[in-house]
Amino acid sequence: MRLVFSAGGSGGHIFPALAVANEIKRKAPDANILFIGAKGKMEMERIPKAGYPIRGLWISGFLGKSIFSKMATGVKLIHSILTSYFILRRYRPDVVVGFGGFASGPALITATWMNIPTLIQEQNSYPGLTNRLLGKKVKTICTAYEEASKYFQNTQIHLLGNPVRGNLAKAIDRNAALSHFGLANGVNTVLLVGGSLGAKTFNKTMKALTNEIAKSGIQIIWQIGKLYYEDYSQCDTAQLENVAALPFLERMDLAYSVADLVVARAGALTISELALLGKATLLVPSPNVSEDHQTKNAMALVAKNAARIIKDNDCEENLIIEVKKILSEKNELEVLKKNIKKLARPNATKEIAKKVMMLIKGEIQNNKLLKTHQ
């Protein structure tokens, strides 16, 4: 089997793609998988580290509203479609799979023109522009949210969930995990995580609320993020005994295991992990993502009483108040855990990999029939 996976721009697109690729390799060790991404983006480093080859396209998101910006975007898109054509013609894949983001557009567009079987996996409740456009052409669509289906015309839509890291749900000793972070047992623990690069709003809030956090009666695992660590690691809040301030959480499994409440952005992959683990969650959607995806993701949970939400610009004023309120209402805490757990789809990776394999097998059979008749 020869497969092309197109994903990139952010970890929310890259990590699901890698999870499905690894599952396919587990089922079919001799499968050949080539990735296509965007030059200069994180996939060009992450994918080779995971053991897969990758080809980069000269592509970016919409650069602005001016005529020159639109022209630049158009030139890049045409160049990337032509590059994708030569990659696909030479590689001759049995299927092309897209995981969203501008990096996946040219390869999927080209594959549909070349009549190569195609599948897209949409992580968000509101599909991005690339996937909304591609949804009219691809053969199969896998979604993570029920709400996403109404944006697609394709009849082959499967609600399967988002692939997540496989090691998160393993049993972990709470005392050992707390000790890893230098925190105490018997105290409500909050995990504050804004992604691998960090969230500026979270960091500014923590820095501004030193006294409130010191007197809060809770302890916090604070992922500052590599991008902001130098600026915030020496602030007074980071020195508090009830705060574990880290640039990056290498052991996210330990952090999740001790968290009584998680405060996080509303990225699709983060939400899928929280659902899998049944974690009470306070979501602060990022205002800096295209088409306000994160607010739509968060509201899909709020509508099911599976999470709480506060606005990004209310974070500094309301974060600690809302955190303490949720933790003090034990019944409400359990309701949040129960309801978000209902949304979990622990077999998403296997089910999506299965759909990819089925698509390949169907195409191979068709090719054989075609050759027989010729």
pLDDT digits (tens, 9 = 90+) for 170-191: 778 999 999 999 999 999 999 9
Which of 6-15, 143-152, 242-251 has the lowest average pLDDT? 6-15
**pLDDT > 60? residue 202:** yes
Say whether pLDDT at 322 is over 50. yes
Task: Write out pLDDT tens, residues 40-74.
Answer: 888 888 899 999 999 999 887 665 567 777 777 78
In whole angstroms, what separates CA 129 from the centre of its chain? 16
Say if residue 83's pLDDT is above 80.
Answer: yes
Task: From residue 352, give the alpha-carbon distance in Å to each of 224, 298, 327, 366.
Answer: 33, 23, 36, 21
- Taken in order 61, 82, 57, 111, the sign of the CA dihedral is positive
Band of pLDDT at residue 88, cut at 50, 70 and 90: very high
Label residue 164 by pLDDT band (50, 70, 90): confident
Average pLDDT over residues 134-152: 87
Q: How far apart are alpha carbons 178 and 174 in whole angstroms?
A: 6
Least confident of 197-201, 265-269, 297-301: 197-201
Q: If you average pLDDT over every residue of the chain, what do you get?
A: 89
Cα separations in angstroms, 18 against 3, 12, 57, 270 = 13, 11, 19, 16
pLDDT at 166 over 70: no
